[in-house]
Amino acid sequence: MKSGKRIDVISEYQKRIAEKESLNLVVIGHVDAGKSTLMGHLLYLQGEVTEKTIRKHERDAQKIGKASFAFAWVLDETGEERARGITMDVGVTKFETEHRRFTLLDAPGHRDFIPNMISGTAQADVAILVVDATTGEFESGFDANGQTKEHALLARSLGVQQLVIAVNKLDVVNWSEARFLEIVQKLEQFLVKDASFKKSNLVFVPCSGFTGENLVRRSTPGNICNGSAVSDTSVPESVAAVLSTFSWYKGPTLIESIDKLDTPMRPIEKPFRMSVTDVFKSAGGVSVAGRLEAGHIQVGEAVMVMPGSEMAVVKSMEVNHEATRWAAAGDSVLLILSGIDILKVSNGSVLCTREAPIPVTTHFAAQIVVFDVKIPITVGFPVIVHRQSHNEPGVVSKLVATIDKVTGEIVKKSPRHLGKNTTAMVEIKLSGRAIPLEAYKDSKELGRVMLRKGGDTIAAGIVNKILSFGS
Amino acid sequence: MKLVKQHIEKDKSGYVTLVPEDFEDMWHVYNLIQKDDQLRAVTIRRIQSESSTGSVDSQRVKLTLSISVDNVDFDTQVGVLRISGRVIVENPYVKLGTFHTIDLEMNRSFTLIKPEWDVIALERVQEGCDVTKKADVAAVICQEGLANVCLLTSSMTLIRQHIDCPVPRKRRGSVANYEKGMKRFFEQIYQAILRHIDFEIVKCVILGSPGFVREQLYEYIFAEAVRTDNKTILQNRPKFIMVHTSTGHKQALQEVMNDPSIKNKLADTKAAQEVQALDQFYEMMNNDPDRAFYGFKDVSKAAERGAIGTLLVTDELFRAADVAKRRKYIALVEEARATGAKVFVFSSLHVSGENLNQLTGVAAILNFPLPDIDDEEEEEAADETLQDEDEAPQMHSNHAAEAFDAVLG
């Protein structure tokens, strides 16, 4: 490419963040907590979804007897998801608030789809944790088999530090302040003590995704917060009820709370890295969607696909569904690549440059924190290693040492097994293909792994050292 | 497998004549034949003869050869067993001491002469010849875009086809790509089922997956069978069973074998028992670590004291070319049996066997706790620490605090 046409991405980037900073937001929580409905409604209130679309969803949903799912259908688009009424894959969309530009990732809550949830959360900077306030529902999501805790721990281990907790469906318990405070108290204890969130980074917001109360606005006598999915006749009554029973809450609305979230430092000066979450054929080339983990890229530049070291050229790109000429770390992008076969790129590939390739490995040393496991981890323990949207089977090949949580000193060398809540140095070998991976000190995003077995997350870890290169 | 003849002397030397009949039998044979055993079988050898004028003539001759085994090769995918070694019985065509490789085939008898038939080998013969222990099950383990079509027998897990068919994700406003991708994915599985599963042999076909993939697959298979009028599939509809697994990787087979509805189907087959035994071991390790040990050193200490309740070993240890090592493990098994322990010899072709192999290959659940074994080990470990203190890298301690913060807090 001619040098005259090159864009100075760094100065462009400075201009863009001066205008409005962007954030990737993931919505997590137990299945049926109302994540999709909440976000679908929020998108509608923010004007991202037209009235017409909502009406159409409402009619169609009613036809199959799922009238209350109309808002969720904004994000749950496949036939399977709609018919079953649960989210299966991450829904990606965007919206803007006063000070922030958001890429929204709606994660599935069902435990079988945690790999997808990990994929979504790995792309996020901040999260909304949705909990169901209904009697019994909060408890079932919060106990050992629920996903509330697992999601929160995963989010924390994947680098999410700021969390907004949406205490949803509070309309069902008549906007009870006592119930809200009970949930806040239980969650706060867990999030601060076990999941190591900073108390100051947690915001609790009572709301209702179904009626739309306290998402964008509060209902006031002059300004009725209209839940459009509810038939018109019921509005006055419900609003009257809300006004009288919800007057105790003086805090911010959901949108106000997320508007205040801080943006993290983006590693824009580092070598270019993009993790691929989706690949499909499109007119004129191969479409590759994912998140820019580090560095920047512009149209016309060459990229290298790892594993495989195949070269391709960026033909065009989109950031948040808008065509642009450049993108920088933190952006959720869609690249159209030319000069490459679709079979050479897959979910889990990493794009980089020829000058600074990312290591590809099957054997690495990691420091892990063992979660609340039922059986201890031993040598030879088979696990599924998750790195962002990719997962590969592997084994824990060596237990190097257990280390003290606080001081970081070695407690015991070559332990026989690792029980719950221990921190340890281990070596992990992948049984199948090699995956692109970096040491945590080189890349915070590409140096994290999650270990799962039998449908449970057993440990979260960071990569200390790559022990073998190539496959 | 058919046992044609067996003759074993008091000093445990002797011979056995066997006819392997299927794939699994080949696996048993592979586990039987050791280095320095003698093998007699019908084989084909290319004989070169030089005439007086110097022209070379070569012909293939079918003959019976006896060799002293040097090397055993087994291809688990095609089930070919190749045994090479030196010829030990003279023959009109072949000189003594020349090398020959025998390919063992199904339905052809062979005679194996061992200087010592130990317990493990004899049990293996018995097991291989036991028809009641046969149960063939096919399984399709899948998740979106990834599937493993496998065959399970009592001592083997064979991956028949690994399907990796990337499915595009749903995108805002367009799910056509996703739906098309899923269809293509199911089509590949359907073809693999037609190609690899023989419905006359298999008792059932397990469809395992997380989420709803198995249900979608089930629907697809029968819709497709109706469309193409595939009678075999339609007639065998009751053989299809759906099981929940947490992933589509091969590891999930362990979950499949632990599922109550499958346990019935697999009935008394070894595989299910092995999975259970391994689970019990891990459970014990969690509840009472002083009653669960692994590694030869610890386990043999426990055996000395007669503490072993259940002993888990993989067959790989008995296949060791090193005779001393093999003897060591056989002695361990006999010692454990003598004190009334249950012994499970895991097949290393199963997922559970692979797991145990990684876990040093030998593990034991004890009848009573032996906390001092762990203590002894700690002392030893402490000695080692003193020794390699110089070379121990200090890379962790500096980063540890910072790194840990990143992992969790």
* Closest CB from A280, A367, A374 relative to B407: A367
Instruction: Kindly give, in sequence order, each residue whose CB lies less than 8 Å from that of residue B374, ignoring residues fewer than 6 positions away.
Output: A416, B289, B290
Please give the structure tokens belonging to residue B119: 């317990």
Residue contact B282–A376, C-beta within 8 A: yes
Residues of chain B found within 8 Å of residue A87, distances taken between Cβ atoms: none
Is residue A339 domain-shared with residue A409, that is, in the same domain?
A: no
Q: Hey, how many other C-beta atoms are within 10 angstroms of the C-beta on B137?
A: 25
B27/B76 Cα distance (integer angstroms): 8
Instruction: Kindly give, in sequence order, each residue whose CB lies less than 8 Å from that of residue B241, ignoring residues fewer than 6 positions away.
Output: B204, B205, B206, B207, B261, B262, B265
Q: Is the pLDDT of residue A368 over 60?
A: yes
CA of B123: how far to CAs of A306, B115, B130, B230, in Å? 49, 17, 11, 43
B249/B354 Cα distance (integer angstroms): 14
Question: What band does B340 get if pLDDT is binned at 50, 70 and 90?
Answer: confident
B254, B298, B396: best to mutate for the A interface, most A CBs within 10 A: B396
Q: Which of A143-152, A335-344, B48-57, B270-279 holds the top average pLDDT?
A: A335-344
Which residue, among A447, A438, A331, A426, has the nearest Cα to A377 in the 3D structure? A426
Q: Determine the residue of chain A that is closest to B396 in CA distance.
A: A408
In tens, the pLDDT along B373-392 reads 766 665 555 555 444 444 43
Is residue A178 domain-shared with residue A292, that is, in the same domain?
A: no
Q: Does the residue A4 lie in any domain? A: no
Beta bridge partners of B40: B66, B111
Question: What band does B254 get if pLDDT is binned at 50, 70 and 90?
Answer: confident
B392/B69 Cα distance (integer angstroms): 44
Q: Does the residue A8 lie in any domain? A: no
Largest CA distance in chain B: 88
Is residue A337 domain-shared with residue A204, that is, in the same domain?
A: no
- A31 to chain B, minimum CA–CA distance in Å? 13
Q: Would you put residue A246 in left (φ > 0), alpha (ψ -120 to 50) or beta?
A: alpha
Exposed/middle/buried for residue B334 (C-beta within 10 Å: 0-12, 13-18, 19+): middle
In tens, the pLDDT along B219-234 reads 999 999 999 999 889 9
Is residue A122 domain-shared with residue A83, that is, in the same domain?
A: yes
Q: Determine the residue of chain A that is closest to B353 in CA distance.
A: A380
Look at residues A259, A284, A308 and tell me which one is the last residue of a structural domain: A259
Q: What is the mean pLDDT of residues B365-371?
A: 87
Q: Is the pLDDT of residue A202 over 60?
A: yes
Q: Catalogue the E-assigned strands of A141-299.
A: 162-168, 202-206, 273-282, 285-294, 296-298
Residues of chain A found within 8 Å of residue B216, distances taken between Cβ atoms: 80
Which residue, among A302, A447, A418, has the nearest Cα to B286 in the 3D structure? A418
> How many CA atoms within 13 Å lie on the side-chain side of A233?
0
| Cis preceding-peptide flag for A115 (omega within 30 of 0) | no
Chain A touched by B386 (CB under 8 Å): no
Q: Which DSSP string do the residues of A439-456 spell out, in sequence order? A: -TTT-TTTTEEEEEETTE
Q: Is the pLDDT of residue A144 over 80?
A: no
Q: Which residue has the tokens 């462009």?
A: A12
Q: Tell me if A421 sits within 8 A of A370, measured CB to CB.
A: yes
Q: Does the residue A413 lie in any domain? A: yes
Is residue A299 domain-shared with residue A440, that is, in the same domain?
A: no
Is residue A299 domain-shared with residue A393, that is, in the same domain?
A: no
Which residue, among A396, A412, A468, A399, has the nearest Cα to A435 in the 3D structure? A468
A400/A398 Cα distance (integer angstroms): 6
CA of B201: how far to CAs of A82, A243, B22, B232, B345, in Å? 39, 69, 12, 13, 26
The CATH number of residue A44's host domain is 3.40.50.300
Residues of chain A found within 8 Å of residue B401, distances taken between Cβ atoms: 407-408
Q: What is the mean pLDDT of residues B175-204?
A: 88
The CATH number of residue A272's host domain is 2.40.30.10
Containing domain of residue A170, as a range? 17-259
Q: Which DSSP string do the residues of A250-263 spell out, in sequence order? A: -S--HHHHHHTPPP
Look at residues A259, A293, A321 and tell me which one is the last residue of a structural domain: A259
Q: Is the pLDDT of residue A93 over 90?
A: no
* Count of domains observed in chain A: 3
In tens, the pLDDT along A244-265 reads 788 888 889 999 999 988 888 8
Please give the structure tokens belonging to residue A186: 């239980």
Q: Determine the residue of chain B that is closest to A442 in CA distance.
A: B403
Q: Does the residue A1 lie in any domain? A: no
A75/B349 Cα distance (integer angstroms): 44
Q: Does residue A279 sit in helix, strand or coil? A: strand
Q: What is the mean pLDDT of residues A439-461?
A: 89
Residues of chain A found within 8 Å of residue B283, distances taken between Cβ atoms: 375
In tens, the pLDDT along A232-248 reads 444 556 666 677 788 88
Q: Determine the residue of chain B that is closest to A94 in CA distance.
A: B172
Is residue A229 domain-shared with residue A284, that is, in the same domain?
A: no
Q: Does the residue A471 lie in any domain? A: no
Chain-centroid distance of CA B23 in Å reads: 13
Is residue A181 domain-shared with residue A222, that is, in the same domain?
A: yes
In tens, the pLDDT along B259-311 reads 877 777 765 567 778 888 888 898 888 888 888 888 888 898 888 888 899 99
CA of B70: how far to CAs of A160, A394, B75, in Å? 59, 34, 17
Is residue A347 domain-shared with residue A458, that is, in the same domain?
A: no
Residues of chain B found within 8 Å of residue A408, distances taken between Cβ atoms: 396-397, 399-401, 403-404
Which residue, among A467, A457, A445, has the nearest Cα to A159 in the 3D structure? A445
Q: Which amino acid is at B292?
A: A
Q: Is the pLDDT of residue B19 over 70?
A: yes
Please give the structure tokens belonging to residue A293: 């983990």
- B12 to chain A, minimum CA–CA distance in Å? 36
Please give the structure tokens belonging to residue A185: 């108290």
A332/A230 Cα distance (integer angstroms): 34
Is residue A316 domain-shared with residue A364, that is, in the same domain?
A: no
- Average per-residue pLDDT for chain B: 83
Q: Tell me if A167 sits within 8 A of A180, measured CB to CB.
A: yes
Beta bridge partners of A282: A285
Is residue A346 domain-shared with residue A368, that is, in the same domain?
A: no
Look at residues A335, A352, A369 and tell me which one is the last residue of a structural domain: A352
- A461 to chain B, minimum CA–CA distance in Å? 6
CA angle A453, A419, B300 (to 5 degrees): 100
B378, B385, B407: best to mutate for the A interface, most A CBs within 10 A: B407
Residue contact A393–B249, C-beta within 8 A: yes
Q: Hey, how many other C-beta atoms are within 10 angstroms of the C-beta on A212?
A: 25
Measured in degrees and rounded to the nearest 5, phi and psi for residue A288 equal -130, 120
- Average per-residue pLDDT for chain A: 86
- B47 to chain A, minimum CA–CA distance in Å? 43
Element (H, E) at B232: helix B231-235
Residues of chain A found within 8 Å of residue B358, distances taken between Cβ atoms: 379-382, 395, 397
Domains of chain B: residue spans and CATH: 2-132 (2.30.30.870), 135-266 (3.30.420.60), 270-375 (3.30.1330.30)
Residue contact B249–A441, C-beta within 8 A: no
ipTM for the predicted complex? 0.84
Q: Does the residue A404 lie in any domain? A: yes
Whole-model pTM over 0.95: no
A3/A1 Cα distance (integer angstroms): 6
Chain A touched by B176 (CB under 8 Å): no
Q: Does the residue A2 lie in any domain? A: no
Residues of chain A found within 8 Å of residue B159, distances taken between Cβ atoms: none
Q: Does the residue A143 lie in any domain? A: yes
Residue contact B175–A77, C-beta within 8 A: yes
Q: Which residue has the tokens 């692979």?
A: B354
Is residue A28 domain-shared with residue A114, that is, in the same domain?
A: yes
DSSP A48: S
Higher pLDDT, B324 or A360: A360
DSSP A282: E
Q: Which DSSP string do the residues of A86-128 spell out, in sequence order? A: S--S-EEEEEE-SSEEEEEEE---SGGGHHHHHHHHHT-SEEE
